[in-house]
Amino acid sequence: MSAAIRQLEPKELWNYFADLNAVPRASKKEEQVIAFMMTFGESLGLQTIKDEIGNVIIKKPASSGMEDRQTVVMQSHLDMVHQKNNDTVFDFATEGIKMIINGDWVEAEGTTLGADNGLGVATIMAILASKDIEHPPIEALFTIDEETGMTGALGLKGGLLSGTIMLNLDTEDDRELTIGCAGGVDVTAKGDYELMDIIEGFESYKICVKGLSGGHSGMDIHKGKGNANKLMNRLLYTCSKDFDLRIVSIDGGGLRNAIPRESNAIVYLKKDQLDSVKERIEYLSTQIQDEHQTTDPELQIELTQTEASGKVLYPLFQNNLMRAIYSCPNGIYRMSPDIDGLVQTSNNLARVLVEDGKYEILCLTRSSVDSEKEDLANAIHSTFNMLGAKVNNGGSYPGWTPKPEAPIIKMMSTLYEELFNESPHVNACHAGLECGIIGTNYPNMDMISYGPNITGAHSPDERTQISSVQKYWKYTKEVLKRVPKV
């Protein structure tokens, strides 16, 4: 279907997006897309640089008559979230994204689309390759590993860029101009546990929680979507209170920045309690599905017999583990008291892996207030420390403090009203954008983030609106025309 995508308007943007989507680009595995971008910049005869961490910078002089304008950094990240449905056969390491057109939307066949942040990358590529678009001096910054640690932005050194304005093309609502964002920290709890043999009189079963809608753990955290890890723990904990349930393994969730959609547990159940356990799980499933019918209408909970073999957790550790997961904060922790509707602090219980005597629990804690981010991380530390886990913080990055009076923000707000006859939503967001990190080494750079409509980012439901991309392209070209003079 890439041929049909290439016929969409604006063709220059969609063609570069199709080219990009043919290149595997998982976070921390960006070698192919880095080489792709280096070849692209060099093919245009433009100064093309790869820095020490792997970011790519391409510099293009101003178009004729625009030499007296401020230099603009146009920035997007090269990596994408690799997620697919359980029943989708697809190898992200070797296959290009299979895109389809569905009415006014472009989506993928059972996988993430890569619109986050591929559309931003494709936009910048189209500007760099153009011969008739008016623009100031441009420094295109393509960062790596935004989705799993922001190591590209963290490793970007001062002095490589001279721009005084940065356009970050990484938000997902074409009515919004974002001027601030949350910071984040990865919280990881790990530990070992002893195993015991299962005694006679038990049968092995698999419990599966699936069909949740998932989504971005920052942008979608306020929507009340179900968390597969929390729901699985609720099932296990509730059943183990009244029945002899022994856990072999738990495998739930995946990436820190994606609300977990699926979880699987292998358990042993006592034979003489099977009917009662099945009734309890059926009852709990109905409750949970009713609670989530608006946010997760496709939610399914299944109990199936399996031929699993393996040792189980000791009852005391099993009970403590389930209590710790139950106690771990998840979702909104605090709303902003200053900005209406903005989530200030949250946590995503992203990954629970328990198997073969080892366990690992991954969280992503976000806040636009660094002290509150640390406070919530401390709460998570305390929860899992009581289990005996070794808990560490990693990948911490700062928030981005808004500058609402910056000239570029005022100009872009006015321009939006002029072009579209309505006022944009100038706001901060709860996602982790790279602006705050880049600003630590470039404190005098005024920044703003915007983009076309994208829904379902970080999940196989990701899609982008064709008419919105056209609107965003028109706006971007006009913004570049009106960049203030030096």
- For 406-450, write each residue's pLDDT tens digit: 999 999 999 999 999 999 999 999 988 899 999 999 999 999 999
3-state secondary structure of 215: coil
Mean local confidence (pLDDT), 194-213: 94
Residues 247, 262: Cα–Cα separation, whole Å: 17
Q: Work out the pLDDT band at 148, boundaries 50, 70, 90.
A: confident
Sign of dihedral through CA atoms 58, 62, 67, 69?
A: negative
Residues involved in catalysis? 79, 146
Mean local confidence (pLDDT), 63-72: 98
Q: Work out the pLDDT band at 357, boundaries 50, 70, 90.
A: very high
Q: Work out the pLDDT band at 308, boundaries 50, 70, 90.
A: confident
Q: Work out the pLDDT band at 16, boundaries 50, 70, 90.
A: very high
435 backbone dihedrals φ, ψ, rounded to 5°: -60, -45
In the prediction, which pLDDT does 101 show?
97
Give the rounded percent of residues in the chain with a pLDDT score beyond 90.
91
311 backbone dihedrals φ, ψ, rounded to 5°: -85, 165
DSSP result, 309-369: ---EE-HHHHHHHHHHHHHS--EEEEE-SSSTT-EEEEEEEEEEEEETTEEEEEEEEEESS
In the prediction, which pLDDT does 1 show?
55
CATH superfamily to which 2-181+399-481 belongs: Zn peptidases (3.40.630.10)
In the prediction, which pLDDT does 127 show?
98
Q: Work out the pLDDT band at 379, boundaries 50, 70, 90.
A: very high
Residue in the block written with tokens 């306020």: 222
Mean local confidence (pLDDT), 335-349: 92
In the prediction, which pLDDT does 395 show?
84
Average pLDDT, the chain: 95
Cα-only R_g, the chain: 24
**Fold agreement between 2-181+399-481 and 185-397:** no
What CATH number has the domain spanning 185-397? 3.30.70.360
* Burial status of residue 3 (CB atoms within 10 A of its CB: 0-12, 13-18, 19 or more): exposed
In the prediction, which pLDDT does 331 show?
97
Do 205 and 484 contact (CB within 8 A), yes or no?
no
Q: Work out the pLDDT band at 476, boundaries 50, 70, 90.
A: very high
- For 182-191, write each residue's pLDDT tens digit: 999 999 999 9
Model confidence, pTM = 0.77
Mean local confidence (pLDDT), 77-104: 94
Residues 30, 54: Cα–Cα separation, whole Å: 8
- Maximum pairwise Cα distance, the chain: 84
Domain boundaries, the chain: 2-181+399-481, 185-397
For the CA atoms of 97, 174, 151, 431, what is the dihedral angle to 10 degrees? Answer: -110
Do 352 and 256 contact (CB within 8 A), yes or no?
no
In the prediction, which pLDDT does 253 show?
96
Sign of dihedral through CA atoms 116, 345, 149, 52?
A: positive
